[in-house]
Structures are given as structure tokens and as C-alpha cells.
């Protein structure tokens, strides 16, 4: 083996986890970029129309009236996007894709906490890869332009801080999840039961 080859091998061995993370991140971006122009039924019938209505009614000023069926926090972000331009399909998707990565990182951190190992780099990277490359996650954000990764990120953070017994932060993140989407209600009974259990043992 030549000297330069040995150095390359040693570099890869030292940084295998980082290189894996970069490769998965690059692949995740590529597969999402492929769906940038896909327009789903929901996008056609609802999201694009809501964006245009908010833009026509003055952006932030339009928030005095309910537009669509999303909560006000999400509507506020959409209203801010109207000041950038009219490429609404990309704004919806970029926002959701950003939270895909937030969700994957949050899930990876939580998995490391649950693993209870001193050195859990592999747990972090494998969990991150599994979440960011899930077909349902990719389709939901990059193809359909849905916002489920946003409130799910805050639900995961809620569970993380409940596990750490940092209850003020946990319920703050739960409130943010509710502010984005009311489907958070499905995890609410578990969170309350878990909180009561932890407070009584």
C-alpha cells in the first residue's frame, strides 16, 4: 500500500462516523431536491391558495382572519414568506425539510439518552440516518409539502425533556407543538400519564 493510500485509509477510519453523517445528509438532500417541483393534491387545492390569499390580504395584516385550517403560528410563518416572493411551493417544502433534519437530530439525541451508553456515536448516527431517510418523512415534506415534521420535532423534544425530568422545558415544547398542529393531542394523554407517574415515584 502506498503512503498516500495508507493516509486515506487512516483518515477514513478516524472519521468514519462523520463521513457517514455527511454521506447520509447529502443523500437526504438529493432525494428531497428531486421532489422540489412535485405538486400534490393538498398543495393544489389548499396550500397554494392559502398562500395567495394571505399575500393578497397584506401578509401579516391578513392574520386578523383565519386562513385555511392551520394554527396561527404556521400561518404567521407563511405570512412572512409572502414578503420574499411567490415561490410558495418551495417555501412550504424548505420549511418542512429544515424540520426533517431538526426532527432527525432530536430523535438521535433522544436515542442516545435511552441507550445509556458512555460512547453512543453509532446510536446517534444510525438513528439520524433512519429518521432522515424514512420514505414517509421524505414524501411528507419534500413531495407533499406537509408540516408534520415541525410539530413532531417539538413532540420529540417534549419526550426528551420529560425523560430528563426537565418539566418546564418539556411542557414549553409541548405548547409549541400544539401551536403548530392540533394532532399533538394524540400524544397528550401519554405525556400527562408519564408526568404523573414520574412525579409520584
Q: What string of pLDDT tens digits covers the 201 residues of the chain?
A: 667 777 776 676 677 888 888 999 999 999 999 999 999 988 999 999 999 999 998 889 888 888 878 888 999 999 999 999 888 999 999 999 999 999 999 999 999 999 876 567 889 999 999 999 999 999 999 999 999 999 999 999 999 999 999 999 999 999 999 999 989 999 999 998 988 887 776
What is the distance between the alpha carbons of residues 168 and 171, in angstroms, rounded to a whole number? 5
Predicted local distance difference test score (pLDDT) of residue 201 = 65
Predicted local distance difference test score (pLDDT) of residue 118 = 58
- The CA distances from residue 43 to 1, 88, 93, 119, in Å, are 55, 10, 10, 43
Cell digits of residue 32: 428531497
**Other residues' Cβ atoms within 10 Å of the Cβ of residue 101:** 19
Predicted local distance difference test score (pLDDT) of residue 32 = 97
Helix axes 16-33, 88-115, angle to 10 degrees: 150
What is the distance between the alpha carbons of residues 20 and 80, in angstroms, rounded to a whole number? 36
Amino acid at each position: 500500500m502506498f503512503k498516500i493510500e495508507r493516509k486515506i485509509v487512516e483518515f477514513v477510519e478516524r472519521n468514519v462516523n462523520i463521513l457517514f453523517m455527511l454521506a447520509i445528509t447529502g443523500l437526504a438532500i438529493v432525494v428531497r431536491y428531486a421532489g422540489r417541483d412535485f405538486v400534490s393534491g393538498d398543495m393544489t387545492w389548499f396550500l397554494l391558495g392559502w398562500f395567495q390569499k394571505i399575500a393578497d390580504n397584506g401578509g401579516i395584516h391578513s392574520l386578523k382572519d383565519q386562513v385555511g385550517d392551520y394554527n396561527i403560528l404556521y400561518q404567521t410563518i407563511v405570512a412572512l414568506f409572502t414578503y420574499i416572493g411567490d415561490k410558495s411551493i418551495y417555501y412550504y417544502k424548505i420549511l418542512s425539510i429544515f424540520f426533517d433534519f431538526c426532527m432527525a437530530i432530536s430523535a438521535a439525541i433522544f436515542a442516545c439518552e435511552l441507550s445509556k451508553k458512555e460512547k453512543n456515536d453509532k446510536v446517534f448516527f444510525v438513528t439520524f440516518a433512519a429518521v432522515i431517510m424514512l420514505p414517509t418523512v421524505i414524501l411528507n415534506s419534500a413531495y407533499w409539502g406537509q408540516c408534520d415534521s415541525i410539530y413532531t420535532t417539538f413532540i420529540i423534544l417534549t419526550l426528551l425533556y420529560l425523560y430528563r425530568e426537565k418539566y418546564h422545558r418539556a411542557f414549553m415544547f409541548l405548547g409549541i407543538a400544539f401551536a403548530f398542529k392540533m394532532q399533538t393531542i394524540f400524544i397528550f394523554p401519554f405525556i400527562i400519564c408519564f408526568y404523573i407517574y414520574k412525579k409520584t415515584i
